[in-house]
Amino acid sequence: MKARKVLNSSNGRGLVAQARSEELQKSANKNQPRGGKSSMKRTLVVALVLVLGVSLLAGCKPVAKQPVTFVFAKGDAVELDPADVTDGESVTVMNNIFEGLVRYKSGSTEVEPCLATSWDTSSDGLVWTFHLRKNVKFQDGTPFNADAVVFSYERQRDPNHAFHQYGKWEYWGWCFSEIAKTEKVDDSTVKITLSQPFAPFLSTMAMFTMDVVSPTNCNQWKDQWFSHPVGTGPFSFVEWVKGDHVTLEKNPNYWGTEPQIDKLIFRVIDDPSSRYLALQKGEVQGMEFPNPTDLPKITQDSNLVVLSAPGLNVGYLAMNMGADTPGFQKPFGDVRVRQAINYAINKKDIVDQLYKGTATPAVNPIPPTLWGYNDAVQDYSYNPAKAKELLTAAGYPKGFKTNLWAMPVSRPYMFDPKAIATAIQADLKQVGIDAEIVTYDWGTYLKKTEAGEQAMCLLGWTGDYADPDDFLYVLLDSDAAKVGSAGNVAFYRNPTVHALNKEAQMTTDFNKRVELYKQVQQIVHDDAPWVPLAYATQTLVFAKNVKGFVLYPTGDYHFDTVSFETSK
């Protein structure tokens, strides 16, 4: 008892120490390895190590029979409803799951039948009747028919539609406001009535906004529909791990040509240099938008193939001709001054040095990949002497002072507006024009330029649908030159151009429209409201053994034609 007391108290250090060492002795004896127990422990440890080792190897070696998988590196999608998205990353995924009544021909801007086999227009151009393809099923097994088409379109247009509340449907307001109604005629016929004739309508119908969605699926998921897309396209949706990847797989019941890959995975890699690293390592087989500084290395890499083509965009310098706008300056009312500025700017240098090979110099307001491009138009050469001549003829031998507005943000058609503005400023100085660079935050910039507060400004446009109307009417028609909401920031009002644009909107004769738009481009060139600067190219990089990918001018990616070349 005494000993216990001593042990429990903290007095008497010496005794405590002694008792402790006795305890240590006892526990040491207990831990003395007895034959059986420790060898069992040892075997257990060895077994565990073996299991881990085997699974490590199992993880390293690829499984023998894998589905043919293609992995593409890009940014993350925002949502997966084709009618509600506004960003390119989401559209890319949509283009492989969904289809519309018509689509763009492979690698072109011309339209061909897709879910509709044919169509007729009424004589006044207001009623379009589409004959739908028969025996097509959605990926959830439900049939594709007129009801589905009506659902897909009316939910965007009609605020009273049951599904309208689940989306913002921005593109409907921007591009489809002339559609008055979509109606079912019978199971395979749909009638779309326009409020006014609009020839580009067929081109707009090829946009992702008009893809047909499964009504059954929408009604099942309601507001969560954005993460569970079901369409009629070559690939079905499997899963979307936000920020990580989107997985699609081959649609076995696809009505068209079966895709040659079984699994299509979009891997999210936001940083362009990281994409390149993953491509080098073989973790992905394709990627979009490499870093311009990585491009030289990529082109030298014999294991990679670079595909590039001008996109459906244009970057330009607009000169304000609107005498009724606050920013108007007298010199710009004279065509000689505007032409002089065209001659003064060294476009090629700007494209080579500042765009660093990611663009081609622009001649017309529409890019060369768009049908109707007038390649007979002669661009203004870089000729400062001629510029000075014209300025003197116009009455400005010593030049004049003005301002040049530049965007504060990087745009798809102009990576670094500030740098480009500085280069233009230097070019103009050479001919005596003293331009002060002005900038505002992006929202304010758009508002003010739409109100004509600038003398000259940089701007650009990425086409939504592949029709010259989307450029020539939206950006250069007098209808678009309303002070305060102008898309035509040069406030260029030419009645001939307007008449031509309007005629091209009314007639559905393709060849006639080509003629009309070619005339518009020549007139615009001669009047020089702009200095068209560049068409930004879209650049994609693929592994050498990837075959069959076609670059669409609209920037759509379609992977149903992609296959791997079997190794030699």
Binding site for other proteins (CB under 8 A): 51-52, 55-56, 58-59, 62-63, 66, 69, 71, 76, 78-79, 84, 86, 167-168, 170, 173-174, 223, 226-227, 241-245, 247, 265, 267-271, 273-274, 277-278, 280-281, 283, 411, 441-444, 446-447, 450, 459-462, 484-485, 487
As measured in angstroms, the least distance from the Cβ of 219 to other proteins is 17
Contact in structure between 455 and 327 (CB atoms under 8 Å)? yes
> Of 493 and 518, which CB lies nearer to other proteins in the complex structure?
493
Helices and strands (H and E) in the chain: how many = 18, 20
As measured in angstroms, the least distance from the Cβ of 301 to other proteins is 12
> Of 99 and 467, which CB lies nearer to other proteins in the complex structure?
467
As measured in angstroms, the least distance from the Cβ of 367 to other proteins is 16
> Of 287 and 359, which CB lies nearer to other proteins in the complex structure?
287
As measured in angstroms, the least distance from the Cβ of 548 to other proteins is 21
Contact in structure between 462 and 91 (CB atoms under 8 Å)? no
As measured in angstroms, the least distance from the Cβ of 329 to other proteins is 24
> Of 205 and 458, which CB lies nearer to other proteins in the complex structure?
458
Give how far Cα 326 sits from Cα of 441, 446, 450, 478, Å.
19, 15, 11, 18
As measured in angstroms, the least distance from the Cβ of 188 to other proteins is 33
Q: Is 345 exposed, middle or buried (0-12, 13-18, 19+ CB in 10 A)?
A: buried
> Of 184 and 447, which CB lies nearer to other proteins in the complex structure?
447
> Of 267 and 336, which CB lies nearer to other proteins in the complex structure?
267
- Map 307-359 to HEC letters: EEEECCEEEEEEECCCCCCCCCCHHHHCHHHHHHHHHHCCHHHHHHHHCCCCE
Helix axes 495-506, 510-527, angle to 10 degrees: 160
Torsion of CA 44, 46, 52, 53, to 10 degrees: -160
As measured in angstroms, the least distance from the Cβ of 3 to other proteins is 24
As measured in angstroms, the least distance from the Cβ of 409 to other proteins is 9
Spatial distance between the Cα atoms of 260 and 565, rounded to a whole number of angstroms: 11
> Of 172 and 328, which CB lies nearer to other proteins in the complex structure?
172
User: Residue 215 has which token pair?
Assistant: 């009504």
Contact in structure between 279 and 522 (CB atoms under 8 Å)? no
Spatial distance between the Cα atoms of 81 and 69, rounded to a whole number of angstroms: 24
> Of 334 and 450, which CB lies nearer to other proteins in the complex structure?
450
As measured in angstroms, the least distance from the Cβ of 275 to other proteins is 9
> Of 167 and 331, which CB lies nearer to other proteins in the complex structure?
167
Measured from the Cβ of residue 207, the count of other Cβ atoms closer than 10 Å reads 23
Q: Cα Rg for the chain, rounded, in angstroms?
A: 33
Torsion of CA 193, 196, 197, 202, to 10 degrees: -50
Contact in structure between 312 and 462 (CB atoms under 8 Å)? yes
Taken in order 559, 560, 561, 563, is the CA torsion positive or negative? Answer: positive
